[in-house]
Every structure is written in C-alpha cells, then in structure tokens.
A and B are shown apart, each in its own frame.
Chain A
Amino acid sequence: MAWLHTWAGLVPGWVLFLVFLFGTTAFFQQEASRWMRPELGNSAVTVPALDAATAFLAARAPGGASWDISLPSARGGDPITVSWEPIAGSGGEAGRVRLDPTTGREIAARDTLGGWFLYRFHYDLHYMPWWLARYIVCVAALAMLVAILSGIVTHKKIFADFFLLRFGKGQRSWLDAHNVAGVLALPFHLMITYTGLVTLLFTLMPWAISANFPSEGAFYEAAYPPSPKIEASGRAAPLLPLPALLARAGFDARDGMPGYISISHPSDAASVVTIYPGRNRLGGDSRALYLSGVTGELLQAPRGAGPATATYDVMIDLHTGLFAGPVLRWLYFLSGVGGTAMIATGLVLWTVKRRAKLPDPTRPRFGFRLVERLNIGVIAGAPAGIAVYFLANRLLPVGLDHRADWEVNSLFIAWGALFVWTLARPAQRAWIEALAACAIFYALVPIVSALTTARGLIPSLIAHDWVFVGFDLTMLATGAAFAFAARKVASHKPKAVPGRKARELVEATT
C-alpha cells in the first residue's frame, strides 16, 4: 500500500498544503480581521449600536421592502453591516453601510477582506471559478483521506516509533518528522479531513438530492423551511426596538448576539423579523426564528433538526471550530500547524528519498525537478504571500481604488515573484533564500504595524489588547521559526557518501 500513500499524498500534495495552511490561519479568522481593521473598536455589539442601526435604517430607507443587519460575532473583527432594499417600483435605491459595533456610527474602516479571505481561499482558491476550485479541493480532500488511512498502514511503525524524532540523520529524520507530525495530531487530521469532505457534501455527492427532489431549491425548502410569506398590510405600524425583539427571541448582549437579522416591510403592521443565531456552540441550533416586528410574538417556531441534519451540523461545527474559546482555538491552530507540517515533510521526504537514488544527481529527471521546484515554491512561497498580505494591509494607501483586491493581489504577486526567484536558483540556495524571505516578511509585520498605526505591540501591551498582542507575537514567532529553518538548511552539508553506499542505505531503510 506504500505506493498508494506516496501518490495519493504527492499528486494533490501542494493543493492540500495550501488548504491546510490557509485553513489553519482561518481558525483565527476573526482575530486576523480585527488586526486588519485597526479602526474598529474592540468591544462586542452594544445595545446602543443596535438602536443606532435601526435608527439609521429608518432615516435612510423608511418604508423599504427589507432591511438586513449583519452582526459581528463576539470575537469581533467585522463591523455591523446594514443594507436595505426599496419596494419594487418605488424608485428608492438599495444600499449598504458599515457601522461601528460599539457606537453604531457610520465608519470609514480601510477596505479589506481581512481574515475572511484566508478562510475563503482554503476551499474556493482564487483567480478561478468557485465551482472548479471546489472540485479541485474535493478531489484533494478525498485523496487526503486515502493518504491518511493508507499512511497508518504504510508507516506501520508509527506506534512503535511514537516518541522518536531523531535529528541529523538525513532521510530517517524526515521520516520521523513526517510520522510525528502525522501521528501526534492524527485524531485532528482524520476529523478535519472527514468533516471537510462533509462541508463539501453536496458538491461531492449531489445525487441524494437529485434522486429525491425535483430541484436543489426544493431540497433546501424542505430541509430549511423558508420564512412565512406575509404580505404587507398597507397599514403603518412602528417596529419594536431591536434590543426588545432580540430579548423576546432569547438573545441578550452578554450571551451572544445573533449572526444576522432580516426585517421584511419594516414599517408595516405585518412586518416579519427573521433572526439567525450565530454558530457559536458545538451542535447549537442555527435555525432561523420568525417574529412579528410589531408585537414581537413568535410567528413560526424553528422545527427541530432531524438526526441527519443534527449530525451534519455537529460535523460542520467540529470543522469550523467556531464554538471554540481561546484555549481550544489555540489547540485547533496547533493541530492545524501539525497537519501543515505533516504535508510539507511528506512532500520533502519524497525528494529526499529519491535524491540518493538518482542515476546522475547533477542532472535529475524531470519529475524529480518538478516536485523539488514545486516544493520550494509552494511550501516556502505561500507563507511569504500571507505575510505580504498582512503587510499590504498596512502599507497600501487607504484611498486606493479596489484596495481589498490589491491586498489579495499582493499576496499572489509576492508569492509568484518568490516562486520565480527560486526557480532561477540552485535548490539548496533557493530553500535558504525563500525561507529567509519568509522570516523577514513575518518579522516586518509587527514593525510596519507599529509604524503605521497607533496599535503596535507596545501600545497594545499597555492597553491589555490581547488580540493585537497575540497577533504580533505570533508573527514574530512564525518569523523566528522560518529563520531557524533557513539556518538549518544553510548549515546542512549533504554527506559525501559514494553513490553505491548511499543506494544501499536507502534500500535498507525503506
């Protein structure tokens, strides 16, 4: 089964590396967003902000057909976004405005996608249609599951060698590192891969729906009952204040706000308020509640989830980890780093294992060169791109057109440039220089942030702003880790073993 593990891991390996790398950062999506929107305050949504949001909508879109209010989670990072739709034929205009979650005042935060882009990239990729990306990720994730399961069989000594990590022994060390990264967080790897496939369930297996429902829409209507269809009555009636409506629905500012509120014909006697809870509990109910906007009474109780839906929801929750508090979130993150390292060491191991067997090491075969070059360009290139994404967030002028797009573009420009650079260099030099570039970029992030905003590491420490402190320290630690890796590669001297002896060694260890 070794060949299965090798090829199921290698061929989609670089996609998997990216999915794991960006997915790992996505556990801190909101924290990254907070750091990338330094103009936003730190507090969660306040009651005055809710009142201000409804007052704003009432002033801007009185008698609109619908109002929508998207609220940030308790972890912050996003503004309150209010949007409105005019009644068809009334000549009004639709609009969307961002409000400060603390004060409810309109804000002019820099235009950025924040941590959300890192999250979205891990399954929708970029510069390609989302459906194509999802097929690619689906296939890669399936291969990952195969690679993990066959890996447990192939590396049968993983439990006998559980505690072994021997450095300075060439191929043996890479195998140890691959095994340790894989086996220590094995429950996480299995869980995240399997539940990842579950998130793409309907892309992967649409037939359960197509065999039983006339259309996909019919399935969703049956699985997630839509709001009660209530026509506007034409009689004007005041909307209850939003905090009062939320209290009726069982939400309060301390225990967590809903994620999304939608109000149809808001100034009418027949207004309907739809409240979507945020996903902040493991297996928590995410079904919408429907309330009358005038009386606050419950129009339609959420139907209890069936066993299949409940299982599905728990799996999605396990995958996204939105329910996790700070401690559990760090555990998720560290396990994700382990998964990323497992893929990276596996990819490198492929070349290490084959280098000794090359007939002529000065002129390796095309396949070997391809894997080696992709390894350098992706494993060292993509993390550099992420660091540049953060740098671009601080350095691009606030007034730039399509600023958010340029932040994203700079991630890929930096990554692409580094990739091209490494192609032009001998392999070992390329590794050293790309890793050193990563180290420098990550070290620059807190420095540039301190120079361009008032929320650098030291002011944040004084203000006990642990999200900003944690972000900057994580950047420094990541930079240090890359510097360490670069130094390790630089001090590495390939042992001058004669060709035949090396071959025998390789054969003995495989």
Chain B
Amino acid sequence: MIHAATFLLSLGGFGLLLLAMQRHQQDWLGRKLPPIQGRALCLSGFAALALAFVAAGIGLGWGYGAVAWFGWLTVAAALAVMANTNRARIMRTVRP
C-alpha cells in the first residue's frame, strides 16, 4: 500500500517534470506553455516527489523509506522515459 502510494506519487511527479520541459511540451501538448505554467508544473512535480518521500518515510520508517523512495524514483523515472520514447505510439492510441 505504502509502496503503491510512493510509486504513484513518484510517477506523477516525473510526469509533471516531463511536461515542465519545453521540448517535451511541444511533443506532448502540441504547443509550448508560457514560462509561468512551466514553472508551476516543475514545482508541483518536485512537490509530488517530496510527498512520495514523506509517504515512504511515514509508512516504512525514515531509513527503510528513504531506500524504498530512491528505488521507486528509479522505476517511475524509467517508466516516464519509456512513455516518452514510445510517444508516437501512445498518442496514436489516445487520439487516433
């Protein structure tokens, strides 16, 4: 349960961070967002990652939680990269 929460928060965080980068906005949204929105996405992305750390720390204890958090960060970031690599395929399924 705690593991799932940590993972989902990390995944959401990396999703937001992905969209906060201009080059990826063009790819995923079809337009560049104004800098203020980009910054908001970036901040909320890091906030989600921080929340994931808090969730893991409270749920599993800070030592154990920190290790689990780093592990889930890696998995979540790997999934974000995979999604970005297969963007064309994903876009076709979502918006044919």
Contacts and interface: CB of A to CB of B under 8 A. Distances in A.
Contacts of B71: 188, 328, 331-332, 334-335
Find the residue from B64, B67, B73, B78 having the highest chain A CB count within 10 A: B67
B24 interface: yes
A420 interface: no
Nearest to B21: A163
A163 B68 CA distance: 22
B80 interface: yes
Interface in A132-180: 160, 162-167, 180
Interface in B56-88: 63-64, 67-68, 70-75, 77-78, 80-82, 84-85
A56 interface: no
B54 to A, nearest CB: 17
B52 interface: no
Contact of A163 (B64, B73, B81): B81
A338 interface: yes
Chain B binding surface, main DSSP class: helix
A374 interface: no
A506 interface: no
Contacts, number: 62
29 contacts: A162-B21, A162-B77, A162-B81, A163-B14, A163-B18, A163-B21, A163-B24, A163-B81, A163-B84, A164-B84, A165-B81, A165-B82, A167-B85, A180-B81, A184-B74, A187-B73, A187-B74, A188-B74, A191-B70, A282-B63, A314-B63, A318-B67, A323-B64, A327-B68, A328-B71, A331-B67, A331-B68, A334-B71, A334-B75
A478 B17 CA distance: 31
B80 A334 contact: no
Nearest to B79: A184
B67 A163 contact: no
A394 B68 CA distance: 35
A188 B24 CA distance: 26
A340 to B, nearest CB: 14
A166 B27 CA distance: 14
A328 B68 contact: yes
B89 to A, nearest CB: 12
Given A282-B67, A283-B63, A324-B67, A334 B85 contact: no
Contact of B74 (A163, A318, A331): A331
A55 interface: no
Which 6 A-B pairs have CB atoms at the shortest separation, nearest pair first? Answer: A331-B71, A163-B84, A185-B74, A187-B70, A165-B85, A184-B77
A335 B67 CA distance: 11
Given A184-B77, A334-B71, 13 more contacts: A162-B17, A162-B81, A163-B81, A164-B84, A180-B78, A184-B81, A282-B64, A282-B67, A323-B64, A327-B3, A327-B68, A328-B68, A331-B72
Contacts of B67: 282, 318, 324, 328, 331
Nearest to B4: A327
A39 to B, nearest CB: 34
Interface of B: 3, 14, 17-18, 21, 24, 63-64, 67-68, 70-75, 77-78, 80-82, 84-85
Nearest to B24: A163
Contacts of B85: 165-167
B82 to A, nearest CB: 8
Interface in A322-345: 323-324, 327-328, 331-332, 334-335, 338
A165 B84 contact: yes
Interface in A298-339: 314, 318, 323-324, 327-328, 331-332, 334-335, 338
Nearest to B60: A328
B64 A328 contact: yes
Contacts of A283: 63
A184 B82 CA distance: 12
Find the residue from A163, A165, A188, A318 having the highest chain B CB count within 10 A: A163
A338 B72 CA distance: 13
B21 to A, nearest CB: 7
A328 B18 CA distance: 26
A331 B64 contact: no
Contact of A338 (B14, B64, B74): B74
A281 to B, nearest CB: 9
Contacts of A188: 70-71, 74
A209 to B, nearest CB: 28
A188 B74 CA distance: 9
A163 B80 contact: yes
Given A163-B24, A163-B84, A335 B3 contact: no
Interface in A185-242: 185, 187-188, 191
Nearest to A318: B67
